[in-house]
Amino acid sequence: MASAIQTNVESASARYAADFTQGDLVLPPAKKYLVLTCMDARIDPARAFGIELGDAHVIRNAGASAVDALRSIIISQQLLGTQEVVLVKHTGCGMLTFQNEDAYGVVGKNLGEEAAQELEQRKLDFLPFPELEKAIEEDVEFLRRSKLVPDSVVISGWVYEVETGKTRRVV
Amino acid sequence: MASAIQTNVESASARYAADFTQGDLVLPPAKKYLVLTCMDARIDPARAFGIELGDAHVIRNAGASAVDALRSIIISQQLLGTQEVVLVKHTGCGMLTFQNEDAYGVVGKNLGEEAAQELEQRKLDFLPFPELEKAIEEDVEFLRRSKLVPDSVVISGWVYEVETGKTRRVV
């Protein structure tokens, strides 16, 4: 039996497909840029950052981590031709609220010894950060320094304010 | 000077913030689920999958890879309480069109020896896949088997059709 969430996907999809007219869009992003932002439920990148369907890659992970997104950024840039990165972290981010030890502790307590071992085995870094604007600066710097991102790629760093809906530039 | 894309972020943000009324949403997703989908420019998860602001985490990477998303999924599930995963890959995905060797070759050719070395050093796997539905099954299986995702988490796998706007369930 379908869960309530699965039923919602099905009904939303039926509505969306009924009016859908953009089936001819091509694979490479029309405006040749990518947006990297957080998975946070309070962010709607298309509306908040003005992304039309087909225009830009959108990469999202916990904290909008550039290190975590490197694989996707290289594919976007080298194989699909994007030439600009818009990196947006946000106020009230969960990544500001814990440290790796805390996450390791929660996993061990909730999921047991085998899970804790799998975490150790994968050497998983949860990539939390203590200061928002500093983290944006560091991530932009990481991309600018990486040999895997050519110097010609334009990179900017922004804060989205979940309280106001505003996006302001930091770097 | 701001690029055209940066100017677009600023003007879109001014419009969005002017009508914004949802500044009181809390950090944990209200409907306790996460959507994992591809960074592809032709996907608007909020509209195509029916996600209201504040309801769900949205993780996006090249190919909607569950392996790549594991860090974010653990944070979403263990620290922010999500209990269901909706995994959506799509027709016409770029990840169906190349293999690791191809991507390594492109990077070496375009970015030079130092970049190729950084790639080797990071042991970067671009995680391409040759068959769409099989890749969905494998990613769902990966999450179901991982000790880091408890058995109570409901996981489904879907295909989004970029040609029709439809989302259909596979697993």
Selecting from A6, A30, A54 the residue whose C-beta is nearest the C-beta of B156 gives A6
Q: Which residue has the tokens 């994007």?
A: A82
**Tokens representing B114?**
């130092």
Q: Is the model's pLDDT at B42 over the cut of 90?
A: yes
* B163–chain A nearest CA distance, Å: 4
Torsion region of B29: left, alpha or beta (phi above 0 gives left; psi -120 to 50 gives alpha): beta
For residue A149, give the 3-state DSSP assignment: coil
Read off the pLDDT band of B170 (50, 70, 90).
very high
Residue A1 confidence (pLDDT): 85
Q: Is the model's pLDDT at A64 over the cut of 90?
A: yes
Question: pLDDT digits over A38-49, tens only?
Answer: 999 999 999 999
Spell out which residues of chain A touch residue B72, defining contact as CB-CB under 8 Å. Answer: 39, 61-62, 68
Q: How many helices (H) and strands (E) does chain A have?
A: 6, 5
Superfamily of domain B27-96+128-169: Carbonic anhydrase (3.40.1050.10)
**Tokens representing A36?**
């990297």
Question: Cβ–Cβ contacts within 10 Å for residue B67, how many?
Answer: 15
Cβ–Cβ under 8 Å, residues A61 and B62: no
| Domains of chain A, residue spans | 27-96+128-169
**CB-based contact A17 B80, cutoff 8 Å:** no
Q: Is the model's pLDDT at B1 over the cut of 90?
A: no
For residue A89, give the 3-state DSSP assignment: strand
- Residues in CB range of B118: below 8 A, 6 or more apart: A146, A147, A148
**CB-based contact A72 B61, cutoff 8 Å:** yes
Question: pLDDT digits over A114-152, tens only?
Answer: 999 999 998 999 999 999 999 999 999 999 999 999 999
Torsion region of B124: left, alpha or beta (phi above 0 gives left; psi -120 to 50 gives alpha): beta
Cβ–Cβ under 8 Å, residues A154 and A84: yes
Residue A40 confidence (pLDDT): 98
Alpha-helical runs (H) found in B30-158 = 45-48, 70-74, 100-111, 113-121, 132-145
Find which of A21, A25, A59, A60 to mutate to test the B interface (most B CBs within 10 Å of its CB): A60
Classify each residue of A57-87 as buried b or exposed e, where b means 16 or more C-beta atoms within 10 Å of its C-beta.
bbbbbbbbbbebbbbbbbbbbbbbebbbbbb
Mean predicted confidence (pLDDT) in A12-21: 98
Spell out which residues of chain B touch residue A114, defining contact as CB-CB under 8 Å. Answer: 147
Question: Hey, which residues does A167 pair with through a beta bridge?
Answer: A160
Distance, in Å, from the CA atom of A110 to the CA atom of A57, rounded to the nearest integer, reads: 35
Distance, in Å, from the CA atom of A90 to the CA atom of A88, rounded to the nearest integer, reads: 7
Q: Count of A–B CB contacts within 8 Å?
A: 269
Alpha-helical runs (H) found in chain B = 4-18, 45-48, 70-74, 100-111, 113-121, 132-145
User: ∠ CA A133-A135-A140 to the nearest 5 degrees?
Assistant: 100
Distance, in Å, from the CA atom of B19 to the CA atom of B14, rounded to the nearest integer, reads: 9
Selecting from B17, B68, B94 the residue whose C-beta is nearest the C-beta of A165 gives B17
Mean predicted confidence (pLDDT) in B96-118: 95
**Is B19 annotated in some ligand binding site?**
no
Read off the pLDDT band of B79 (50, 70, 90).
very high
pTM of the model: 0.98
Distance, in Å, from the CA atom of A116 to the CA atom of A14, rounded to the nearest integer, reads: 41
- Residues in CB range of A14: below 8 A, 6 or more apart: none
Distance, in Å, from the CA atom of A65 to the CA atom of B139, rounded to the nearest integer, reads: 22
**Is A93 annotated in some ligand binding site?**
yes
Read off the pLDDT band of A23 (50, 70, 90).
very high
User: ∠ CA A55-A59-A65 to the nearest 5 degrees?
Assistant: 140
Interface check A84 vs B, CB under 8 A: yes
